[in-house]
Amino acid sequence: MKDMKTRTNQDKIVSVMRSSRGRYFGLTTTQGNQVNARFINETPHYVRVYDRNNECQRTIAKSSLAGIRYNRTAIA
């Protein structure tokens, strides 16, 4: 049951990332990392974002997405 809830949250997080239209958002991973990022593209299992703090591109597994903050939207 928990796996289904996690999958739903991951789908919502990726959906918000796609709809960000090139704007920056706060992304939290299951490892506890927080990234100020901009969405670049996605594959079936990974998302690629530009990390504003480290000035580099990062590839993050969708399974490790824990939360996102964008505008007034917050998913945890």
7 or 15: which leads in pLDDT:
15
CATH code at position 40: 2.30.30.100
Range of the domain at 15: 2-75
Residue with tokens 């901009």: 38
pTM of the model: 0.86
Q: How many domains does the chain have?
A: 1
- Tokens 């090139």 sit on residue: 22
By the 8 A CB rule, do 36 and 24 touch?
A: yes
DSSP E strand stretches across 1-76: 24-29, 34-42, 46-51, 56-61, 65-70, 73-75
Residue pair 38/30 in contact by the 8 Å Cβ criterion: no
pLDDT at 8: 83
Q: Would you state the pLDDT for residue 3?
A: 64
2 has a pLDDT exceeding 80: no
pLDDT digits (tens, 9 = 90+) for 13-67: 999 999 999 999 999 999 999 999 999 999 999 999 999 999 999 999 999 999 9
